[in-house]
Every structure is written in C-alpha cells, then in structure tokens.
Amino acid sequence: MQSSKTKAGLSIFTLVMLITVSIDSIRNLPATALFGNTLIFFFVFASIVFLIPTALVSAELSSTWTRDGGIYHWVLMAFGEKIAFLAIWLQWINTMVWYPTILSFIAGTAAFLIDPKLAQNKIYLVSIILGVFWLLTLVNLKGLKTSARFASVCAIVGMIIPMVLIITLAVIWVFLGKPIQLHINGNTIIPHFGHMSSWISLTAIMTAFLGMELATVHVRNVEDAQHKFPKAMFYSVVIIASTMIFGALAIAFVLPHDQINLVDGVMQAFSGFFRTYHMHWMIPVIAVALLIGSLGGMINWIISPAKGLLQAAEHGYLPKFFQKENKHGVASHLLITQALLVSVVCLAFLLMPSVNGSYWLLTDLSTQLYMLMYIFMFFAALCIHYKYADHPKSFKIPCGSFGKWVACLLGVIGCSITLVVGFFPPAGINVGGAMHYEVLFSSGIILMLLPALFFYGYRYYNRN
C-alpha cells in the first residue's frame, strides 16, 4: 500500500517536469533544424496528428483509471493480456534502441569540455554511453521519489534554462542583423509533398514528441490523479510545442545546413552565439547544463517502460527473476538486465560509416517501434470508450464520441505516415547507401520483435 506521503510526492509541477524533461529534449533540435523552412509546417502537423491526440488520450485514460495506468494496463482492458504484452514490449524494446542516441548527445556535449573532435570518435562515444547509462540505472534503483526529484532539478537547470537561452540568443542575433542561414517566406514554408525527402523530416519531429504517456504508469503515486494528470498534460503540451519549434529555428538560423551535426549541433549553435557575443566563458557552463538536462531526461525513460514491463511479468510473460523488487519498490533485476542489453545495442555506432548515420538509424528504428505501440494505444482508447461507457470520467476529450474518434484517428494517421517514411534514408546523411541502410533497418525491427515470440511461448509452456 502506498503511503499518502509517497502519493503526495508527485505534484502537478513534478509531473510537468517529469513529462517535459522526457520529451522536450534540446538534443532533438539539430535533427529537426536540418529540415530548414519546412520544420515549422511539420511541427504544426505533428502536433495536430500526434502530440495533441496523445496528450488528450493519455489525460482521459490516466484520470479515469487511477488504480493502474500506462500502456500495458490500457491495452489489457481493451484487448486482453496477449495484445497488452506486445504493446508494452514495443514501448520497452524501443528504448533499448533509443538510449544510445541520447547518450551519444551526452557524450558529444561532454566532448566540448575536453576536445570537440571527440564527438565524431566512435570509441569515445561508446565508452561514455556505457558509463552514463549504468550510472543512471543506479540512480533509478533508489526509487521513484528520488528519480522524480532528480528529473525536476535537471529539467529546470538543463532543459528549460538552455531552451530559453538559445531562443533568446537567436532573437538577439536576428535583431543585430547577423547572417541568417534560414529565410522563411510563404513559398518555402510549405514542403513539396511529392518529394519523399520532405516527409522524412516528419520522422525527426515525431521522434521529438514521443513519450507523453510515460508518466501515467506512476498514477498510483499521484494523489488526486484524476485532476492532476489532465492539467499536467496541458501545461506540458504548451511547453514542449513552443520550445521545440523556436529552439529548432534558433539553430537553423545560425548554422549552415551542411554543417549541422546531429550529435553536437546544439553545442555548435551555442558556441557560435557565445563567440560572436564575446562570451567564451559560457561554453563550458552551458555544456554542463545540457549534460544535467540530458541525464534528467533519461530518468523517466529508464524506469517507466521497465515498470510497465513488470506489469506483464506479473501476468506470467517473464520469468519470476524479473519480478524481483528491491526495498525501494523498483524492479532491480529488470533494470540491470536492461542496462546489459543497452550495452550491446550501443555497439551499433561501430556498424555505420558515420556518427550521424548511426544516430539517424537508431533514432528511426526506435521511432518505428514506438509508433506501432501508439497505434495500439489509440485503438485501445476507442475500445475502452465503448466497453466501459458507464464508467465515470473526471476528464473527457471534448465533443464526446466524435472528439474521441477524431483524436484517435488523427493519431493513427500520424503514426501510419511516420511508419511508411521511416523506411527511406534521409539525403545528406552518410548511411552507407540506401540498400545498406534498409537491410540494417529491417533487420533491426525483426530482431527487436523476435524476443516477444519467445516470451509468448514461455507463458504458454508454463501455463500448460
């Protein structure tokens, strides 16, 4: 039984920080800035067909079902255990692929404190990735309250302040009449829809919006969750959408398109600003702040999907070994196993001809797996709407059944488009050729899904 003190520990502010620091990562800005003028259109498009529908569905489900929350529980209610396990597997396994990308950002940022050239050194990146991930795993083993406090501090110091700063510096840059690399007008802001290269930018932007539902798995730890979650979702959407759009534009204004690096592009932009404004001393300061923010952003991603997978383990889909919880109520064996798997996956950085290529491959693969999970979530929301029609709701998606259908269908459309364009490599990033990329990409998806079949067999064998 959760104590009231523990439950009250997650306030609206803490929830907003936990959500925004998980999604609103400044590391995503270079990937979206690469697409220049069209990024405004695609940010708005992605908000309409993904970010807002995800927030609305998560807010309604988390405020209605406060005993248990998260993807596994919602899909379980709608479609049963088998589909629920596949959904939570997709959420969890995508993080195995995603972790190396944010960890490579941490390594790239840290390189500015030592030698910027290290950001393109694969051995350096892999070493930092492993060290940081294991450190964060140890922090999460201390329990949710410790993780939430850590994430809140990191969100303020390493996400909100740097986001506001880079936007402010870009505004000053424009007013001072400095050279601008991006010229926005009515002819360039709308993409050429017939060109696949235009749609590929959607993958990077959709990736920047993943994770809105993550915090809902902690619904038991929130007092008055039925009112706090909808408010937290609303505040988070406003913060995420505004900072991501203006932050990406800030980088696109300053850095030439062909000079944007996905791993250390943020530090490239900050360094350019500070050198122009004769504030060289700020470069190491902002590097440390970005490192802090990235560490906080990983906290929720490490513990939340694992907690959802623990729900599936309790229904017999994983050996009892993975159900072991420590004195802080954390699935310790699951987290340690997760860290071991990430250590193996991060070796993908050694398989691609460039750091940018590795970064994009892992980001794209992670996004594809997650989009499949979101499709389950949107259909589960529709099913629950009718299956439990008489269940009281403290928050409802506006316009009743019509609003629910519009939100869910928009979400499915956004996910489906992203799934299709994800199979096409972007121009301007060295991925070793289209065939090399597609073979690695397709193989990655298959390898990530195969273990789920094994666990289905494991559960069937043990029940018979």
CATH of the domain at 211: 1.20.1740.10
Is residue 383 situated within a structural domain?
A: yes
24-33, 47-56, 350-359, 435-444, range with greatest mean pLDDT = 47-56
Examine the pLDDT at 93 and tell me if it is beyond 70: yes
In angstroms, the CA 384 to CA 216 distance is 16
**Choice between 435 and 430, residue whose per-residue pLDDT is larger:** 435
pLDDT computed for residue 8 by the predictor:
43
Q: pTM for this one? A: 0.78
Confidence label for 373 from pLDDT (cuts 50, 70 and 90) = very high
94-98, 245-249, 349-353, range with greatest mean pLDDT = 245-249
Examine the pLDDT at 353 and tell me if it is beyond 60: no
Is residue 2 situated within a structural domain?
A: no
**φ and ψ at residue 16, rounded to 5 degrees:** -60, -45
pLDDT computed for residue 201 by the predictor:
64
59 HSE (CA, 13 A, CB side): 26
Examine the pLDDT at 454 and tell me if it is beyond 60: yes
Is residue 152 situated within a structural domain?
A: yes
Average confidence (pLDDT) over 347-371: 70
209 HSE (CA, 13 A, CB side): 32
Residue pair 300/293 in contact (Cβ under 8 Å)? The answer is: no
Question: How many helical (H) and strand (E) elements, i.e. helices and strands, does the chain have?
Answer: 18, 0
58-67, 122-131, 195-204, 399-408, range with greatest mean pLDDT = 399-408
Average confidence (pLDDT) over 117-133: 79
pLDDT computed for residue 356 by the predictor:
61
Q: How many domains does the chain have?
A: 1
pLDDT computed for residue 263 by the predictor:
61
Q: Cα torsion for 287, 289, 291, 297, to the nearest 10°?
A: -140
Structure tokens at 427: 């121009």
Residue position matching structure tokens 């290290």: 118
Is residue 37 situated within a structural domain?
A: yes
Examine the pLDDT at 9 and tell me if it is beyond 60: no
Q: Using the Cα atoms of residue 107, residue 108, residue 113 and residue 114 in order, give the sign of their dihedral.
A: positive
Residue pair 10/221 in contact (Cβ under 8 Å)? The answer is: yes
182-191, 248-257, 333-342, 372-381, range with greatest mean pLDDT = 372-381
Examine the pLDDT at 387 and tell me if it is beyond 80: yes
Confidence label for 5 from pLDDT (cuts 50, 70 and 90) = very low
Residue 460: CB partners within 8 Å, gap ≥ 6? none
The SS3 assignment for 71 reads helix
Examine the pLDDT at 449 and tell me if it is beyond 70: yes
In angstroms, the CA 314 to CA 322 distance is 9
**Choice between 277 and 36, residue whose per-residue pLDDT is larger:** 277
Q: Using the Cα atoms of residue 313, residue 316, residue 317 and residue 321 in order, give the sign of their dihedral.
A: positive
pLDDT computed for residue 374 by the predictor:
94
Q: Using the Cα atoms of residue 147, residue 71, residue 43 and residue 11 in order, give the sign of their dihedral.
A: negative
List of long-range contacts for 276-282, beta carbons under 8 Å, 24+ apart: 276/173, 276/178, 277/169, 277/172
pLDDT computed for residue 181 by the predictor:
72
Lowest mean pLDDT among 46-60, 130-144, 294-308: 294-308
Confidence label for 413 from pLDDT (cuts 50, 70 and 90) = very high
In angstroms, the CA 38 to CA 32 distance is 10
In angstroms, the CA 292 to CA 158 distance is 5
**Choice between 73 and 428, residue whose per-residue pLDDT is larger:** 73
pLDDT computed for residue 372 by the predictor:
92
Confidence label for 358 from pLDDT (cuts 50, 70 and 90) = low
Residue 27: CB partners within 8 Å, gap ≥ 6? 101, 102, 105, 266, 294, 297
Is residue 1 situated within a structural domain?
A: no
Is residue 89 situated within a structural domain?
A: yes
Examine the pLDDT at 417 and tell me if it is beyond 70: yes
In Å, how far are 37, 147, 382 from 143, measured between CA atoms?
43, 6, 34
**φ and ψ at residue 109, rounded to 5 degrees:** -70, -40
pLDDT computed for residue 75 by the predictor:
93
Q: Which domain holds residue 259?
A: 7-463
Residue pair 441/361 in contact (Cβ under 8 Å)? The answer is: yes
**φ and ψ at residue 171, rounded to 5 degrees:** -65, -45
Q: Using the Cα atoms of residue 252, residue 257, residue 262 and residue 268 in order, give the sign of their dihedral.
A: negative
